[in-house]
């Protein structure tokens, strides 16, 4: 405090004397009165405020003690009835029980207790009892991912009586979290338990579907690596991988069917069958080899011209123009002698 005049000095002296007189007048004989500690470092303003509070403590010690307890927890006391504040022991017990709750519930529990105290101690006790049950449920999640517990705590504060349902959702999130994390997926905190449950459930369902698809196609060793990917990136990669796997099977099956048809047209056959991608991958090259071998044999036995004619006719086409009618007839005759059978179909109106 800066003093710039004699008048200001006189005012400070008078205020100081007043504070001293009020301190001497304090009734300190009641040892149950909780006088707050003197604020340090000392200043005239702070000491005046302390004397006011100490006087109130001596005049109404029960109310003063209750206010100290509540204000220490950030609870305003203006709206709490005096009849409630006259029960500091009950208030202290309530606050101690709240202190033992899960840390994530403290702020919300103190706010709820503050509102309940405006009605009475019994209402506040009911609130604390509800929060204790909620806290016990939340404690079962300890050791789990921190953001999951924090989201659960925030939801429970909104409706502590429904803590059981919230904890159950959190457990499901944790289970899906562990499954996805086990695949190496990098999981960042979600904004809500519902959002986390929806996205993680989808990811794990896709992962199981992908693993099942690979197992059914004999490709279990070709699992898609998800290490380092976000949840959405992993979902996208699994979706694409399954699409590629199904497309590959369709392509291989069509290729195998085409090769078998071509092989049958030149008198060859393959007894091999395939129902999975792994089997198709082995069957297609084998069919290609059989077809090439069969063609090589017929080129040798028929000659290049007859072989060309035969292949053209089996595809429903006439051979190239450089084959004369005489050569065509000879080629057909030779092919029939080698075992070929040609079937003519009458043209249709739409052809």
Q: At what angle do helices 44-59 and 61-72 cross, to 10 degrees?
A: 120
Q: Do the beta carbons of residue 67 and residue 85 sit within 8 Å? A: yes
Tokens of 282: 């082995």
Give the global pTM.
Answer: 0.67
Which tops the pLDDT comparison, 251 or 325? 251
Domain boundaries, the chain: 303-344
Q: What is the pLDDT of residues 81-107, one digit of tens each?
A: 988 988 889 999 999 999 999 999 999
Q: How distant, in Å, are the alpha carbons of 144, 178, 194, 199, 229 from that of 172?
A: 12, 10, 10, 12, 21
Q: Which of 97, 171, 110, 162 is nearest to 134 (CA)?
A: 162
> What tokens appear for 70 in the block?
């509540």
What pLDDT shows up at residue 31?
46
Kindly state the average pLDDT of the residues 316-327.
64
pLDDT recorded at residue 346: 59
Distance in angstroms (rounded) separating the CA atoms of residues 254 and 256: 5
State the pLDDT confidence band at 47, using cuts at 50, 70 and 90: confident
State both tokens at 275: 């129902």
Burial class (CB in 10 A: 0-12, 13-18, 19+), 350: exposed
Q: The tokens 């504060």 sit on which residue?
A: 157
User: How many angstroms separate the CA atoms of 245 and 220, rounded?
Assistant: 12
Q: Scanning the structure block, which residue is given the tokens 């017929």?
A: 298
Q: To the nearest whole number, what is the mean pLDDT of the chain?
A: 83
Which of the four pLDDT bands, split at 50, 70 and 90, describes residue 123? very high
pLDDT of residue 305: 64
The pLDDT of residue 98 is 95
Whole-number CA gyration radius for the chain: 45
Contact (CB, 8 A) for 136 and 166: no
- Count of alpha carbons within 13 angstroms of residue 98, beta-carbon side: 26
Nearest to 144 by CA among 186, 176, 100, 107: 176
The percentage of residues in the chain with a pLDDT greater than 70, rounded to a whole number, is 75
Are 181 and 196 in contact, with CB atoms under 8 Å apart? no
The stretch 226-253 carries a mean pLDDT of 96
């Amino acid at each position: 405090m800066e003093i710039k005049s004699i008048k200001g000095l006189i005012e400070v002296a008078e205020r100081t004397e007043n504070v001293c007189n009020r301190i001497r007048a304090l009734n300190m004989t009641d040892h149950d009165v909780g006088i707050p500690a003197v604020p340090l470092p000392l200043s005239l303003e702070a000491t005046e405020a302390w004397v006011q509070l100490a006087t109130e403590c001596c005049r109404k010690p029960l109310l003063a003690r209750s206010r100290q307890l509540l204000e220490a927890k950030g609870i305003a006391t203006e709206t709490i009835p005096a009849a409630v504040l006259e029960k500091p022991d009950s208030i202290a017990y309530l606050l101690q029980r709240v202190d033992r709750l899960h840390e994530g519930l403290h702020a919300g529990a103190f706010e709820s207790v503050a509102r309940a105290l405006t009605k009475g101690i019994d209402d506040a006790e009911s609130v604390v009892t509800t929060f204790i049950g909620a806290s016990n449920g939340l404690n079962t999640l300890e050791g789990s991912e921190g953001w999951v517990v924090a989201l659960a705590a925030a939801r429970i504060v909104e409706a502590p009586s429904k803590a059981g349902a919230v904890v159950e959702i959190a457990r499901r999130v944790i289970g899906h979290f562990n499954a996805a994390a086990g695949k190496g997926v990098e999981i960042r905190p979600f904004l809500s338990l519902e959002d986390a449950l929806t996205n993680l459930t989808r990811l794990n369902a896709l992962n199981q579907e992908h693993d099942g698809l690979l197992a059914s196609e004999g490709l279990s060793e070709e699992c898609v690596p998800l290490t380092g990917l976000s949840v959405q990136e992993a979902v996208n990669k699994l979706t694409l991988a399954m699409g590629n796997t199904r497309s590959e099977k369709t392509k291989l099956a069509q290729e195998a069917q085409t090769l078998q048809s071509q092989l049958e047209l030149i008198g060859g056959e393959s007894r091999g069958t395939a129902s999975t991608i792994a089997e198709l991958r082995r069957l297609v090259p084998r069919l290609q080899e059989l077809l090439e071998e069969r063609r090589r044999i017929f080129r040798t036995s028929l000659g290049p011209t007859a072989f060309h004619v035969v292949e053209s006719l089996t595809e429903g086409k006439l051979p190239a123009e450089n084959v004369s009618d005489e050569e065509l007839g000879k080629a057909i005759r030779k092919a029939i002698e080698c075992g070929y059978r040609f079937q003519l179909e009458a043209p249709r109106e739409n052809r």
